[in-house]
């Protein structure tokens, strides 16, 4: 008896498994596994959601006009060059669906977002992985894997779960080496946290090229992960393509209202970055003092490496931390079984992580 059959390549994929979230509402646990903002959401965004409650029966603006205009004002962009999505994930997936066909190739890097190969394969393409060097995007390795079949290249900058970045000059060098028909996708989900003079999210490059787009999110520094809002800046022609395939109401009205309000809350964003910068410095120094290796990070998380090759020590540490109410993210799915990703939390949460890991490294184990 026959049954509907998906593409054979789809069944080769492992589903993306998200980390635990604060939305689980277990008051006994501190969630440091999903890169959520420890300060919560912008107060202005919360007020906008409360006000929106009186309009639940109305459909959202299908063009997200107010949100696109707010983004355009904030970053000095052309409204017609902005598309919004149900999180930046949806935009990343739509780009693959629009530009990759059967047998085409899409490139991503070794420690890039796991959604990339899923999106490429789901579109009927072949996902090609370029190795990274020292947990950092290697432009030469990416360019070496470009072929006549390449249609799209995903670059996470800053990287997740590595926390690393490549300077804007390297991004421009990558773009210069790509054929004109290849679309370069710059995923800048953590751009707001970066404090480096040689970094740029990609706006300048997008504005001057016909084959580059940049995606951003409201999930991190704006604290709206639960609402799923992302946006993309790209050439008008690319935005037009995305608008042809996206759902007519892909971003709900409450999310649009909250995102508009969050964009105007500069004080909350500044405070979020300030807390993150202090926490990042504290955790890096304290964990290195315990003898652990911490990858240099410009984001709101750090990657902690434990001294073993098979991941047993990291897995043991993860269980021990959880037994003390702390949830970190194992990253074995990224090929890093010996590491844990730690979201920068509140001052109290950060201190608790250090104290518990000190206990663990002193010989304590879970039963």
- Looking at the chain, the whole-number percentage of residues with pLDDT higher than 90 is 87
Q: How does the average pLDDT of the chain come out, rounded?
A: 93
Domains 10-40+267-361 and 43-263 agree in fold: no
Residue that is written with structure tokens 């060097």 in the block: 133
CATH number of the domain at 43-263, out of 3.40.50.10420, 3.20.20.70, 3.40.640.10, 3.40.50.1370? 3.40.640.10
Lookup: tokens for 193? 């946290």
How would residue 307 be classed by pLDDT, with cut points 50, 70 and 90?
Answer: confident
- pLDDT-wise least confident of 3-7, 108-112, 180-184, 266-270: 3-7
Q: Give the SS3 label for residue 238.
A: helix
pLDDT for 162: 97
pLDDT > 70? residue 24:
no
Residue 358: is it exposed, middle or buried by C-beta count within 10 angstroms (0-12/13-18/19+)?
A: middle
Q: What angle do CA 138, 98, 217 make, to 5 degrees?
A: 60
pLDDT for residue 28: 83
Measured distance CA(196)–CA(198) in Å, rounded: 6
Angstrom distance (rounded) from CA 167 to CA 172: 9
Q: Give the model confidence (pLDDT) of 72-82 as tens digits.
A: 999 999 999 99
Q: Of 3-17, 87-101, 266-280, which gets the smallest average pLDDT? A: 3-17
Between CA 311 and CA 329 the distance in angstroms is 13
Is residue 188 pLDDT above 90, yes or no? Answer: yes
| Confidence grade of residue 15 (pLDDT, cut at 50, 70, 90) | low
At 106, phi and psi to the nearest 5? -125, 135
Q: What's the burial of 279, exposed, middle or buried (CB within 10 Å: 0-12/13-18/19+)?
A: buried
Cα distances (angstroms) measured from residue 90 to each of 85, 86, 202, 235, 360: 6, 6, 19, 18, 39
- Residue 22 scores a pLDDT above 60: no
Is the pLDDT at 19 greater than 90? The verdict is no
- Domain layout of the chain by residue ranges: 10-40+267-361, 43-263
Tokens of 21: 């979230």
- pLDDT at res. 357: 97
Residue scoring higher pLDDT (1 or 266): 266
Radius of gyration (Cα) for the chain, nearest Å? 21
User: How many CB atoms within 10 Å of residue 347?
Assistant: 12
pLDDT category, 367, cuts 50, 70, 90?
Answer: very low
CATH 3.90.1150.10 fits 10-40+267-361, yes or no: yes
* Residue 59: count of CB within 10 angstroms of its CB: 10
For 58, list phi and psi in degrees, rounded to 5.
-95, 140
């Amino acid at each position: 008896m026959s049954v509907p059959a998906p593409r054979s390549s789809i069944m080769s994929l492992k589903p993306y498994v998200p980390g635990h979230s604060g939305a689980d509402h277990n008051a006994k646990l501190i969630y440091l596994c999903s890169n959520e903002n420890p300060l919560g959401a912008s107060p202005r965004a919360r007020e906008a959601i409360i006000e929106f409650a009186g309009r639940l029966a109305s459909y959202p603006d299908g063009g997200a006009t107010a949100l696109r205009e707010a983004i355009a004002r904030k970053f000095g962009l052309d409204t017609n060059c902005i598309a919004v999505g149900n999180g930046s994930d949806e935009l990343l997936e739509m780009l693959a669906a629009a530009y990759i066909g059967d047998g085409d190739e899409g490139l991503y890097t070794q420690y890039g977002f796991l959604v990339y190969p899923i999106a490429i394969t789901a579109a009927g393409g072949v996902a090609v992985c370029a190795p990274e060097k020292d947990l950092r995007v290697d432009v030469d390795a990416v360019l070496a894997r470009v072929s006549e079949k390449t249609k799209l290249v995903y670059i996470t900058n800053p990287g997740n779960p590595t926390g690393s970045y490549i300077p804007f000059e390297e991004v421009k060098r990558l773009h210069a080496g790509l054929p004109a028909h290849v679309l370069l996708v710059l995923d800048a989900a953590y751009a707001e946290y970066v404090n480096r003079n040689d970094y740029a999210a990609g706006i300048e490059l997008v504005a001057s090229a016909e084959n580059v787009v940049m995606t951003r999110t409201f999930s991190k520094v704006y604290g709206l992960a639960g609402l799923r809002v992302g946006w993309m800046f790209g050439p008008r022609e690319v935005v037009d393509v995305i608008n042809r395939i996206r759902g007519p109401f892909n971003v709900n009205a409450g999310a649009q209202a909250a995102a508009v309000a969050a964009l105007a809350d500069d004080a909350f964003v500044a405070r979020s970055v300030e807390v993150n910068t202090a926490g990042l410095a504290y955790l890096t120094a304290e964990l290195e003092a315990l003898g652990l290796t911490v990858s240099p990070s410009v984001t709101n998380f750090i990657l902690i490496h434990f001294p073993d090759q098979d991941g047993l020590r990291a897995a043991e540490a993860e269980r021990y931390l959880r037994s003390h109410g702390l949830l970190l993210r194992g990253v074995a799915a990224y090929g890093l079984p010996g590491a844990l990703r730690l979201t920068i939390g509140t001052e109290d949460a950060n201190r608790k992580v250090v104290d518990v890991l000190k206990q663990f490294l002193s010989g304590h184990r879970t039963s």
